[in-house]
Amino acid sequence: MRHPPDLPDGTIVTALRGGFGVEAVRLVRLPVGNDADSWSYRVETAAGPAWFLKVRAGPSPGRGAAVPALLQRRGVPNVLAPLATSTGASSVTVGRFALALYPLLEARPGAEAGLSPAQWRELGATMRQVHAVPATPELIRLVGREAFRGSRAPAPPTRRARHRAPGRSTRAGTCPRTGSGAVPPAPPPGRPPRPSTPGAASRARAAARARSSA
């Protein structure tokens, strides 16, 4: 995120001390990540290694830390899980924010550095183990369920609504043109609808012959 969160650095330092037992002497905000509701920091300490801090807002802000923590508990290798808090949680909640602390890896992303054939095989084996984790109630509660439909996307119109003549109301399941329960398909563009009343077909053919002979 380009702009800093409405969370003072002093509040972050206090949360790190109380939640993780980490005494931060400097916070450096990092220009990384694509989430509009998250911010990244380098946390430097007076003694010991530096840490990577992820600050998240939005709905269920602690989800991003809870899932890798669960995978690590299930024995999935190569998962960078967050440091557990003093209460065993995966993040510390400060107002509307969740703070998760990770080991800081001084390395290039795999997408930039590239992977060797052995590393690709190891990545594939790890992903297989990730997908083999059973969908327990705890995991379902963490990740939720995708509906695959935008919350503001309108429902598609029904077939009856698409063929209803403007300004005419009909009984449920009744075609406005034929009065029957079946709704005929719409005619192709440029072609008049087929007549459905007795005698209409012969009158339409006679009118067509008169136009052709004119």
Closest-CA residue to 25 (of 1, 48, 54, 56): 48
Q: List pLDDT tens digits, range 14-44.
A: 999 999 999 999 999 998 877 888 999 999 9
pLDDT tens for 84-99 read 999 999 999 999 999 9
Whether residue 179 has pLDDT greater than 80: no
Q: What is the pTM of this model?
A: 0.63
Amino acid at 56: R
CA–CA distance, 214 with 202 (Å, rounded to integer): 19
CB crowding 44-62: b at 16 or more within 10 Å, else e: eeeeeeebbbbbbbeeebb
* The two three-digit tokens of residue 178, written as one number: 């034929």
Is 12 exposed, middle or buried, given 0-12, 13-18 or 19+ CB atoms closer than 10 A?
buried
